[in-house]
């Protein structure tokens, strides 16, 4: 069906194609804004009626995506809907849904499978179907391919299947959707051609690879590379601390080497929807091939142990003040998983809070990006963000700097916290009442 492929490419090239984006979160919304910016009409799909209503009213629910941008897109080329029956209006359908782990640290593919099942009755000839969710190699072939062909469509002939992993870094001012190169793998050469036509107008650099499996593995390698190196530096931090050495001083010195070294920084654990989760997608799939990924799993163990390491540091700091964790008032600074965003997915700060609460502490938090502790599937606190004043800081037995937001007044913290446990290396050198963790 070369004419059908060319017709799809032509519609994408001349921007008469409507783009469908399924999943309007940290990945889907920036992608929508980018397609609108370059002149495409975008139809956004989500099962959350509250989110859809907000978007259609020009409102936002992600801090670093301004409502003004949503409102401008809404007035021009964007509409959100919960009606999957409208999938047929779109020339391209891009799936941007979560891929978490279940309680056994195995891939939870329910979002991908359920979304594909919701989309498949409305797929039609000439469409491009793209999966962006991070997943194990083989997902596109094993889960999307048979579902796309259930109604008689043939992938590579009259419908085109691609995998193109998201590479969003929420809150990073140096990169945006347009400037982050896009890896694209197609199920067939025709699929790849359609995928390139879909993404090329919106992304400065597209990077074709030989298959959907290669694209899936590329995303996992990127995130495993980061997870393993963070695991290494977290372990180095523990060793350095025992030796009385400041690991941040060491990293800064090592980073002056102009080749062969990349600086990674330790912290209270790993957060976000990628680095703590994605390595386990590969370790799970590797077992099917009889491969035991010991190196990757060891890094996961080290990183998963960091919240407990922080709690042990808190216990020692309180002990020096003749106190125990039980009945102590402890303030956690920053509950987003990284600085300057409101994203709390897999945040190690929340894990620290839970451990302290289980040990009998009275836990509070302060985060300028998260005014009220949100409803979460697995974590439950009824708390609001504390105002940071000299008097309030001094009322806590211990303050933990868990996420180093730029909005914090670090001089105020240092002056008025009775004990300040620094998990981010914000305070270089020795300071009274500052404990490095």
Tell me the pLDDT tens digit for each residue of 16-61: 999 999 999 999 999 999 999 999 999 999 999 999 999 999 999 9
Confidence band of 127 (pLDDT split at 50, 70, 90): very high
Phi, psi torsion values for 416, nearest 5 degrees = -120, -15
φ, ψ for residue 362, nearest 5 deg: -90, 110
> DSSP character for 101?
B
Cα distance between residue 173 and residue 261, in whole Å = 24
Ranges of CATH 3.40.50.720 domains, the chain? 2-210, 247-436
Q: What is the CATH number assigned to the segment(s) 247-436? A: 3.40.50.720
Q: What is the mean pLDDT of residues 204-218?
A: 98
For the sheet with 160-163, list strands across it.
78-81, 41-45, 18-22, 92-95, 128-131, 160-163, 182-186, 206-209
Which residues lie below 8 Å from residue 188, measured CB to CB, with a gap of 6+? Answer: 155, 156, 160
For the segment 215-224, the average pLDDT, to the nearest whole number, is 96
Per-residue pLDDT for 2 more than 70? Answer: no
Answer whether residue 151 shows pLDDT above 70: yes
Instruction: Compute how many other C-beta atoms are within 10 angstroms of the C-beta atom of residue 56.
Output: 15
Summarize pLDDT for 352-391 with one digit per residue, the tens. Answer: 999 999 999 999 999 999 999 998 877 889 999 999 999 9
pLDDT in tens, 179-189: 999 999 999 99
Q: For 52-96, what is each residue's pLDDT tens digit?
A: 999 999 999 999 899 999 999 999 899 999 999 999 999 999 999
Structure confidence by residue, pLDDT tens digits, 235-273? 999 999 999 999 999 999 999 999 999 999 999 998 877
Q: Which CATH architecture has domain 2-210?
A: 3-Layer(aba) Sandwich (3.40)
- In degrees, to the nearest 5, what angle opens at C-alpha 206 toward C-alphas 23 and 60? 30
How far, in Å, are 112, 131, 354 from residue 277 at the CA level? 16, 18, 20
Q: Tokens in use for 126?
A: 């000439």
Can you give the pLDDT at residue 257? 97
Contact 213, 138 (CB under 8 A): yes
Give the number of other CB atoms < 10 A from CB of residue 256.
Answer: 8
| CA distances, 356 to each of 125, 243, 307, 320, 359 (Å) | 56, 27, 10, 17, 5
Q: At what angle do helices 189-199 and 2-13 cross, to 10 degrees?
A: 10
Q: Which one from 90, 191, 274, 398 is the annotated catalytic residue?
A: 274
Model confidence at 275: pLDDT above 80 = no
Estimate to the nearest angstrom the gap between the alpha carbon of 62 and the chain centroid.
13
Average pLDDT over the chain, rounded to an integer? 95
Residue 219 has which token pair? 């995303």
Pair 150, 168: CB distance under 8 Å:
no
Q: Rounded to whole angstroms, how far apart are CA atoms 91 and 108?
A: 28
Q: Phi then psi for 101, rounded to 5 degrees?
A: -105, 150
Residue 429's pLDDT band (cuts 50, 70, 90): confident
Quick one: average pLDDT of 412-432?
92
Phi/psi of residue 371, nearest 5 degrees? -65, -30
The alpha carbon of residue 70 and the mean position of all alpha carbons in its chain are separated, in whole angstroms, by: 21
- The count of other CB atoms within 10 Å of the CB of residue 40 is 21
- Map tokens 């404990």 to a residue: 435
79 CB neighbour count, 10 Å cutoff = 16
Q: What is the pLDDT of residues 319-362, one digit of tens each?
A: 999 999 999 999 999 999 999 999 998 899 999 999 999 999 99
Which candidate, 419, 297, 400, 413, places its Cα nearest to that of 355?
Answer: 400
What integer pLDDT is reported at residue 375 of this predicted model?
86
Higher per-residue pLDDT: 46 or 104: 46
CA contacts within 13 A on the Cβ side of 101:
19
Average pLDDT value for residue range 195-205: 97
Which band of pLDDT confidence, cut at 50, 70 and 90, is reported for residue 134? very high
Please confirm, yes or no, whether 274 is among the known catalytic residues. yes
Distances (CA, A) of 425 to 41, 201, 324, 401, 410: 46, 41, 24, 9, 12
The number of angstroms, rounded, from the C-alpha of 348 to the middle of its chain's C-alpha atoms is: 13
Tell me, what's the pLDDT at 278? 85
Q: Is 1 a residue whose pLDDT tops 60?
A: no
Share of the chain above pLDDT 90, in %: 89
């Amino acid at each position: 069906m070369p004419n059908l492929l060319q017709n799809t490419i032509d519609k994408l090239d001349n921007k008469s194609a409507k783009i469908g984006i399924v999943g309007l979160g940290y990945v889907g919304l920036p992608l929508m804004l980018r397609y609108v910016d370059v002149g495409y009409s975008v139809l956004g799909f989500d099962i959350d009626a509250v989110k859809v209503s907000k978007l259609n009213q020009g409102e936002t629910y992600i801090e670093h995506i301004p409502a003004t941008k949503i409102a401008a897109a809404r007035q021009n080329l964007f509409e959100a809907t919960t009606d999957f029956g409208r999938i047929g209006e779109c020339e391209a359908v891009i799936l941007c849904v979560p891929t978490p782990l279940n309680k056994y640290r195995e891939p939870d593919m329910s979002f991908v499978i359920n979304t594909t099942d919701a989309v498949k009755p409305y797929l039609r000839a000439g469409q491009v179907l793209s999966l962006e969710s991070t997943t194990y190699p083989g997902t596109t072939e094993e889960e999307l391919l048979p579902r796309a062909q259930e109604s008689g469509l043939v992938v590579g002939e009259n419908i085109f299947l691609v995998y193109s992993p998201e590479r969003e870094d929420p809150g990073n001012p140096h990169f945006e959707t347009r400037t982050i190169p896009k890896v694209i793998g197609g199920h067939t050469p025709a699929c790849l051609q359609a995928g390139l036509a879909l993404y090329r107008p919106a992304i400065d650099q597209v990077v074709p690879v030989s298959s959907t499996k290669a694209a899936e593995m590329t995303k996992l390698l990127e995130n495993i590379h980061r997870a393993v190196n963070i695991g290494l530096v977290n372990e180095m931090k523990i060793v350095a601390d025992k030796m009385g050495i400041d690991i941040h001083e060491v990293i800064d010195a090592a980073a002056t080497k102009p080749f062969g070294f990349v600086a990674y920084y330790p912290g209270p654990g790993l957060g976000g929807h990628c680095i703590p989760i994605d390595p386990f997608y590969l370790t799970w799939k590797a077992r099917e091939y009889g491969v035991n990924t010991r190196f990757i799993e060891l890094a996961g163990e080290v990183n998963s142990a960091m919240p407990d390491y922080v709690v042990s540091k808190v216990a020692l700091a309180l002990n020096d003040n003749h106190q125990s964790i039980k009945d102590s008032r402890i303030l956690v600074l920053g509950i987003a998983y990284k600085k300057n965003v409101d994203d709390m997915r897999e945040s190690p700060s929340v894990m620290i809070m839970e451990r302290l609460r289980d040990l009998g502490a009275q836990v509070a938090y302060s985060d300028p990006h998260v005014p009220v502790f949100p409803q979460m599937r697995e974590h439950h606190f009824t708390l609001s963000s504390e105002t940071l004043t000299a008097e309030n800081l001094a009322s806590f037995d211990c303050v933990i700097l868990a996420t180093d937001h730029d909005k914090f007044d670090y001089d105020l913290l240092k002056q008025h916290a009775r004990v300040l446990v620094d998990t981010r290396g914000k305070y270089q050198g020795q300071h009274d009442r500052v404990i490095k963790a």
